Amino acid sequence: MQVVQVDAPAGLRTNGAAPRCGARASPAADPVRLYLVQMRELPVLDRQTELEVAQEMERARRIWRRTLLASDWILSRCERLLLRVSRGQIRLDHALQLYGEDRDAVRLRLHCTLETLGGMRRRSRRLFETAISPRIPVYRRRQAWKQLLRLRRRAARLVEEMGIRSRRLRQWLERMQRAAQYMDALAAQGERQRLARLVRRLQETPRTLGRWLAAVQSRQAAFE
C-alpha cells in the first residue's frame, strides 16, 4: 500500500516541533490577554476623581438640557406634555425622571410650573413679534430680542426642574433639525409666505434657529 504524505496548512505548520502543552501565547496572539495587559498599564481613578468626573459630566448634561429648552417650540412641547401628565393622560414616571421624589409633591409643583410657563410663553410670543416687525425701530427690536432670550432662559430653568426625560428632548431636537432644513429650503426657493408662517410657528428666524442648533450641538459634544 502506498503512503501519501499530506502537508499541513500553512497556518498549522510547526516546523517539526510539536506545541508544548500549557505553553503561553504571546499577548499579541491573545486579544483578551492583550486587552488586560493594556488596561493594567492605564492609571486607575481614585474615588474622589471619579466623583469629580461624574459631577462634571452631569453639569455638562444640565447645561445641554437648558440650552435645548431655551426654544419656544421646545417649551411648547414641554407644556403640552406636562399638561397631559397633569390630566392623567400620561403616567408621571413615563414623562419625568422622579429621582425618588414624592409624587404628590411633584404633581403640586407641576401645576405651579404650568401656570408660570403659560404666562412666560405668552409674553415671549409678544416679544418675538416686536423683534421681527419691520415697522418697529431697530433699537427696540434688539431690546425686545434680548428680553426674549432672557425670558426663554428663565423658562428653560423652570422646566428643567421638572426633569423631563432626555429621550423626549432628543426626539423634539430631531424635529427641530428637520424644520431648520425645511426653513433653509424655503428661503432658498423664495417661498416668503410659507417661510413667514414657519417662522411664527417656531418663533425662530433661519438665523436664530441656526445659532440655537449650533449651541445645542456644542453643549451636547461636551458630555458625550
CB 193 within 8 A of CB 35: no
Cα dihedral 58→63→65→67 (10° resolution)? -170
User: Given phi > 0 = left and psi -120 to 50 = alpha, else beta, which region is 96?
Assistant: beta
Residue 99 lies in a domain: yes
CA–CA distance, 59 with 94 (Å, rounded to integer): 23
Residue 16 lies in a domain: no
Residue 84 lies in a domain: yes
Instruction: For the beta carbon of residue 79, count every other beta carbon within 10 angstroms.
Output: 18
CA–CA distance, 108 with 13 (Å, rounded to integer): 76
Residue 195 lies in a domain: yes
Residue 101 lies in a domain: yes
Residue 27 lies in a domain: no
Residue 8 lies in a domain: no
Residue 72 lies in a domain: yes
Strands (E), 91-140: none
One DSSP character per residue, 86-103 reads: HTTSS-HHHHB--TT--H
Domain of 109, in residue numbers: 54-221
CA–CA distance, 151 with 145 (Å, rounded to integer): 10
In sequence order, the 6+-apart residues with CB closer than 8 A to the CB of 62 are: 160
* Domains of the chain: total: 1
The reported pLDDT for the residue numbered 57 is 86
CB 151 within 8 A of CB 120: yes
Q: pLDDT truncated to tens, each residue of the chain (224 aa)?
A: 444 444 444 444 444 454 454 555 554 556 667 766 666 666 666 777 777 777 888 899 999 999 999 999 999 999 999 999 999 999 999 999 988 889 999 999 999 999 999 999 999 999 999 999 999 999 999 999 999 999 999 999 999 999 999 999 999 999 999 999 999 999 999 999 999 999 999 999 999 999 999 999 999 988 77
Three-state secondary-structure class, residue 52? helix
pTM of the model: 0.77
